Amino acid sequence: MSGTPASPDPTLTPVVPRRGRAAEITAWILLAAGSAFGGLGISAIAGLGPVYGPATGRWLDGVAWAFGMSVALFFFGIISPVLIATPFVLSRRGPSRIVAAILLVALVVGIALAGVSAVGAKYEATPHQPSCPHADSRVRDALDELGHVGPMDTLVEGIDGCETVLRSVSLAEAVDAYTVQLDKLGWTIEDLDGGGIEARRGGVLFTLSGVCGSEPVMTVRTDTSSLEPGASCTGIVG
């Protein structure tokens, strides 16, 4: 009948508007670029972690450091998620939006895991014992008989003294841990201003202080030493 509309031919493929097709292609290109940047960023964070990451051994510190580093690495931490998120603007529908959502989640998870890996590697790589092979034997003996707290870096060593920065504990935690040991070993302990302690025994001085800021400093020296607590911060020895 002449009044009946013609049925659509099922063999015909709907024509996709050129503008929509171009937007979808652009979205896929930007997804690829964002994924590449994100992968490079995660690799960079994992590589920098054992050198510049926190040595605390706590995974939350590693995650926080990783996200901070990703922002510092501008192209990786900012450009990458922006590129990956562009399909939500360019494409109203289609698989690119689903892939973009998956990649954004993968990027966040990847950065977090890189941070956890970095803090673990840094913790394992940092010495857990002072390294003062040239110090006076009384200083070495005093250090050897103590059970030390977490990772540390020996920054100053001399014949008459040794100074180490404790990387994973607060001053209060270090004082609590060492006071018990020093008391049992017969040291005479005095409290210092600022929450630190100084202990004496057999011509050797043991000092825990916060002179370097947030990380406690352990200084062990002979009573005739010119090494003052905090030499590792100021660079002045004697």
- 102 and 149 housed in the same domain: no
- Return the pLDDT at 13: 47
Domain membership flag for residue 59: yes
What's the CA gap between 79 and 139, in Å, rounded?
52
23 and 99 inside one domain: yes
pLDDT attached to residue 63: 87
Give me the pLDDT at residue 231, please: 67
Phi, psi torsion values for 188, nearest 5 degrees: -95, 120
Do the domain assignments include residue 25?
Answer: yes
- Residue 223 lies in domain: 137-234
Averaged pLDDT of the chain: 80
| 168 vs 107, higher pLDDT | 107
Question: pTM above 0.85?
Answer: no
Contact 150, 167 (CB under 8 A): yes
Query: Which one, of 223, 121, 227, 122, lies nearest residue 164 by Cα?
Result: 227
More confident residue, 78 or 93: 78
CB–CB of 27/96 below 8 Å? yes
Tell me the C-alpha distance between 151 and 222, whole Å: 24
Both 117 and 146 in a single domain?
Answer: no
Residue 10 lies in a domain: no
Determine the pLDDT at residue 207. Answer: 92
Do 67 and 163 sit in the same domain of this protein?
A: no
> Do residues 109 and 176 both lie within one domain?
no
pLDDT tens by residue, 82-93: 888 877 777 666
Last residue of a domain, one of 79, 94, 125: 125
Percent of the chain, pLDDT > 90? 16
Choice between 117 and 57, residue whose per-residue pLDDT is larger: 117
Q: Which tens digits make up the pLDDT trace of 179-217?
A: 999 999 999 999 988 889 999 999 999 999 887 777 889
Structure confidence by residue, pLDDT tens digits, 118-177: 888 777 767 678 888 888 899 999 999 998 887 888 888 888 888 988 888 888 989 999
With a CB cutoff of 8 Å and minimum separation 6, the contacts of 181 are: 146, 147
Are residues 81 and 46 part of one domain? yes
Question: What whole-number distance in Å separates Cα of residue 216 and Cα of residue 150?
Answer: 12
6 within a domain of the structure (yes/no): no
Whether the predicted pLDDT of 99 surpasses 70 = yes
Q: Is residue 132 part of a domain?
A: no
Instruction: Read off the pLDDT of each residue in 16-28 and give the average, rounded to a whole number.
Output: 69
In a domain, 12, yes or no: no
Tell me, yes or no, whether 27 and 51 share the same domain: yes
Domain count, the chain: 2
- How big is the chain by its Cα radius of gyration, in Å? 30
Could you tell me if residue 131 is inside a domain?
no
